[in-house]
Amino acid sequence: MFPGWTSRLGRTRRGLTLLDLLAAVAIMVIMMALAAPVFLPMVSNAKQSDCRANLQAIANAEEQYRRKNTTHVYTTTLSDLSQQGAGVPKCPDGGTYTITISNGTATAQNGQTVPSGGLVISCSAAGHGKYAPGIDNQ
Alpha-carbon distance of 45 to 42, in angstroms, equals 5
Q: Return per-residue pLDDT of the chain as tens, 138 residues.
A: 555 555 555 556 667 788 999 999 999 999 999 988 888 888 888 888 899 999 888 888 888 888 887 777 788 888 777 766 667 788 888 899 989 898 988 888 888 888 988 899 999 988 888 999 888 875
Closest Cα to residue 48, out of 91, 89, 87?
Answer: 91
Q: How far are the Cα atoms of 44, 67, 98, 108, 129 from residue 88, in angstroms, in the given order?
A: 22, 18, 11, 22, 18
Alpha-carbon distance of 91 to 27, in angstroms, equals 37
Q: Taking the domains of the chain in order of start, what are their residue ranges?
A: 18-131
Question: Most distant CA pair in the chain: distance in Å?
Answer: 93
